[in-house]
Amino acid sequence: MKRNFILYFSFTLTLAGIFLFAPLIGAAFLRAATGEIITNVELPTLSGDKQPLLTDAAVNVFVFFKPDHENSQTTLTHLNELEREFAGKPVHWTAVVSDSFEPAEIEAEVKALGFTLPVLIDTGDKLYGHLAVAMTPNIGITDKQHKLIADLPFTKVNYTTVIRGYIRHQLKEISDAELQAILNPPRATMGGNGEEAHRHLKYAGKLFQAGLYEKALENVQTSLVKDPNLAAAHALQGQILSAQGLRDEALKAYDTALKLDPSNETALSGKNDLLNNSKQP
Amino acid sequence: MKNSLWLNPDVKTRRNNMSLIAFCRRVIKGSAMLLLASLCLAVISCAAEKTTDTANPAIRANQLDPPPPTYRTAAVVVKQSGSMPGRPPQRPLSAGVKAASLHSPFADGNCILCHMKQDPNAPGPLLKPVNEICLDCHGDFKEFLNAKFTHGPTLGSCVNCHNPHNSIYPMLLEENISTLCLGCHSDMKAKTTEAHVKHDATIKDKACINCHNPHGANVEHLLVDLPFNLCVTCHGEDDVIDNEGNRLTNFKELLAENKEQHGPVKNKDCSACHNPHGGKYFRLLDKEYPAEFYSPYDPQLYSLCFECHENRVFEEPQTETLTLFRNGTRNLHYLHVNKTERGRTCRACHEVHASQQAHHIREGVPYGSTGWVLKIRYSPTPSGGTCVKNCHDTKSYNNLTAVSEAKK
């Protein structure tokens, strides 16, 4: 037992040396940078047996938490949900807690949260110290080879989304680009000239269908003020002008539409119709 | 089979065999029973309709005559006491009431674009479900309805919040934004109104929708963007002043100049420490954090930091695991912070947002009342670091092998 401890401690120190130069960027494992291999350890569990931190599952997810701690509670609840979501997939889940907390306290917490994943007890905070965990809760995600893919300290916004994203990416369910879109989600801004242009165009289309040409023309022109390069708006303008009998102006509008979008079907057929009609006696 | 009068094929034969009086009695009795049954059915169907409406706003919205306001949930309570004068929800404003926003089809008198009839007084039912009609022109909103995070009322019906005709509020809203949002989000109403420290972003300009997109978004809580990206919309400028007249940090500038950033800043999660809806602690902090340079150690005072950082780091004088800021096993965090009187608070050594020096060590500390800054010159080593003479004599530490007192 003592020999094991000495071996473990020496190994920890050696690894510590390796990891000391690891970049300390946005991470909570100060001695394990993403891309590095995490040393696997077997730890006693809350239920009395022993279990490894990592397995040969395609994805390993482990979380450092502590009882009576709001962010830990939120995280454990989310992990429970995620575990159910990924049920049947090669994802291994564990939670790690310091042995400085009373087992009864940990048990009560886990029970209250309905947390069903294995809870490993970090005796003497050795694993905590080995990785130099700077935050709690903190989630680590590794691949099958135990390479650290993500080091995720708790965030109040999008935490579960990001964890899910990393797992799905590792399971090859989403692409690199999709993961990036999760990490840096596109801004959901309302309004803007482009949107208003489309709105007026659609409205103009409805007015045109209802035979209200003047109003339709007014709106299509508003659309073009917002976005002068909107080919569909020029094409609709052509249709309206054509319906009003303004052949030359309509042709001009169709030409502008086709200049912007040579494949615009409305403009192609509209222009074609006008030219064919003019050939008829 | 008492009431089978109208169903019985032998009724004629039987009627012939009855006296006129008996027949009349029978008819009256049957009619009464039918009337009673009809009344029951009407009551039941009315109740069922009411339940369906409450559960499905889309159905509710498609009715020609909108249900009374009491059919709505929390928003209704607001609506009943709201300031939309003289009209039930979803109907045009009464004549003479000046509209702040006007929907083009209504303004143009084109009822037929949405309704069955071109008659402003009786336009008839809608052509199709209300959201389908709206999205015909407002197709850009499909992006939000299909976003990762969506808003129930929006999915239910656009007219939960908007009036499709006109409104005394901008964007055809049924109420002003705050009233509309807080009508359902009553918990937020309490938070924002009772907050000792208020955040202008929740009150001014577009209020809630300064940060949230009520239609849908790609970030939790319907945030338009990640918190940091939103915050720097205002806090990335030089002229932001707090309620006491203090100029606030320009974070775009600060972060451009200081690459050593605190985790939440790096993770764009300002809400890790700040509550954007307001609260009781200075600078909108979410929990207690010492405002002063010195303070007796009390874990309660560091509640904010201990949301993420391990409190035991500051409570155990000796450790091999809890912190790298130790000389051998002597815990230097404990040494600096855990004192009964002049304990150094986090701010004594660390910048909370970003710094030039490693481990978020600040550039200097204010000394005296003249604003002079005493430089902190910290240099990290792979297993420790050195602080050049400033607060104390030059001292080094090594978390693997302790630096002896003499060497320090």
Q: Is residue A269 part of a domain?
A: yes
Q: CATH code at A47?
A: 3.40.30.10
Q: Which of B64-78, B94-108, B235-249 has the lowest mean pLDDT?
A: B64-78
Same-domain check for residues B392 and B301: yes
Same-domain check for residues B263 and B326: no
Same-domain check for residues B134 and B195: no
Main-chain dihedrals φ then ψ at residue B331, nearest 5 degrees: -75, 110
Same-domain check for residues A87 and A206: no
Same-domain check for residues A46 and A150: yes
Q: How far apart are CA B106 and CA B111, in angstroms?
A: 6
Q: Is residue B192 part of a domain?
A: yes
A188 and B320: CB-CB below 8 Å?
Answer: no
Say whether pLDDT at B44 is over 90.
Answer: no
pTM: 0.78
Residue B206: count other Cβ atoms within 10 Å of its Cβ: 14
Judge contact between A232 and A264, C-beta under 8 A: yes
* Closest residue on chain B to A154 (Cα): B308
Same-domain check for residues B226 and B131: no
Contact status of A249 with chain B (Cβ, < 8 Å) = no
Judge contact between A168 and A57, C-beta under 8 A: no
Q: Is residue B51 part of a domain?
A: no
What digits encode the pLDDT tens for the residues A59-74? Answer: 999 999 999 999 999 9
Contact status of B321 with chain A (Cβ, < 8 Å) = yes
Same-domain check for residues A171 and A199: no
Q: CATH code at A265?
A: 1.25.40.10
Same-domain check for residues B159 and B196: no
Among A129, A158, A183, the domain-final residue is A183
Q: What is the 3-state secondary structure (H, E, C) of A78-147?
A: HHHHHHHHCCCCCEEEEEEEECCCCHHHHHHHHHHHCCCCCEEEEHHHHHHHHHCECCCCEEEEEECCCE
For residues B83, B87, B88, B91, the Cα torsion angle rounded to the nearest 10 degrees is: -110
**Which chain B residues are Cβ-neighbours of A158 within 8 angstroms?**
219-220, 226
Same-domain check for residues A245 and A266: yes
Contact status of B148 with chain A (Cβ, < 8 Å) = yes
Instruction: Go through A168-198 and write b for each residue having 16 or more CB atoms within 10 A of its CB, e for each that does not.
Output: bbbeeebeeeebeebbebeebebeeeebbbb
A210 and B221: CB-CB below 8 Å?
Answer: no
Among A121, A149, A183, the domain-final residue is A183
Contact status of B358 with chain A (Cβ, < 8 Å) = yes
Give the structural domain span for B73: 69-175
- Give the pLDDT band (50/70/90) at residue B29: low
Among B247, B266, B284, the domain-final residue is B284
Say whether pLDDT at B81 is over 90.
Answer: no
Same-domain check for residues A135 and A199: no
Same-domain check for residues A112 and A222: no
Here the contacts of A32-37 (C-beta below 8 Å, separation 24 or greater) are: A32/A131, A32/A132, A32/A140, A32/A148, A32/A151, A33/A148, A33/A151, A34/A148, A34/A149, A34/A150, A34/A151, A35/A147, A35/A148, A36/A147, A36/A148, A37/A145, A37/A146, A37/A147, A37/A148
- Give the pLDDT band (50/70/90) at residue B124: very high
Give the distance from residue B108's alpha carbon to the nearest chain A alpha carbon, in angstroms: 8
Mean pLDDT of A241-269: 96
Q: Is residue A12 part of a domain?
A: no
pLDDT score, position B91: 86
Percentage of residues of chain B with pLDDT beyond 90: 58
Q: Is residue B6 part of a domain?
A: no
Among B146, B175, B204, the domain-final residue is B175
Same-domain check for residues B250 and B336: no
Contact status of A193 with chain B (Cβ, < 8 Å) = no
- Give the pLDDT band (50/70/90) at residue A8: low
Residues 101-140 of A with CB under 8 A from B: 124-126, 128-130, 132-136
Q: Which amino acid is at A4?
A: N
* Closest residue on chain B to A182 (Cα): B218
- Give the pLDDT band (50/70/90) at residue B242: confident
Among A159, A183, A207, the domain-final residue is A183
What digits encode the pLDDT tens for the residues B286-334? Answer: 999 998 889 999 999 999 999 999 999 999 999 999 999 999 999 999 9
Q: What is the ipTM of this complex?
A: 0.80
Judge contact between B392 and A5, C-beta under 8 A: no
Mean pLDDT of A128-142: 92
Same-domain check for residues A135 and A225: no
Total tally of structural domains belonging to chain A = 2
Q: Which residue has the tokens 């319906």?
A: A243
Judge contact between B223 and B230, C-beta under 8 A: yes
Q: How far apart are CA B96 and CA B141, in angstroms?
A: 32
A136 and B264: CB-CB below 8 Å?
Answer: no
Q: Is residue B390 part of a domain?
A: yes
Mean pLDDT of B114-139: 92
Give the structural domain span for A237: 193-279
Q: How far apart are CA B139 and CA A195, in angstroms?
A: 8
Q: Is residue A250 part of a domain?
A: yes
Q: Is residue A258 part of a domain?
A: yes
Of B225, B321, B383, the CB nearest to A187: B225
Same-domain check for residues B271 and B315: no
Mean pLDDT of B66-74: 33
Main-chain dihedrals φ then ψ at residue A94, nearest 5 degrees: -145, 155
Same-domain check for residues A202 and A175: no
Same-domain check for residues B147 and B113: yes
Residue B249: count other Cβ atoms within 10 Å of its Cβ: 14
**Which chain B residues are Cβ-neighbours of A184 within 8 angstroms?**
226
What digits encode the pLDDT tens for the residues A17-54? Answer: 333 333 333 566 777 888 999 999 999 999 899 999 99
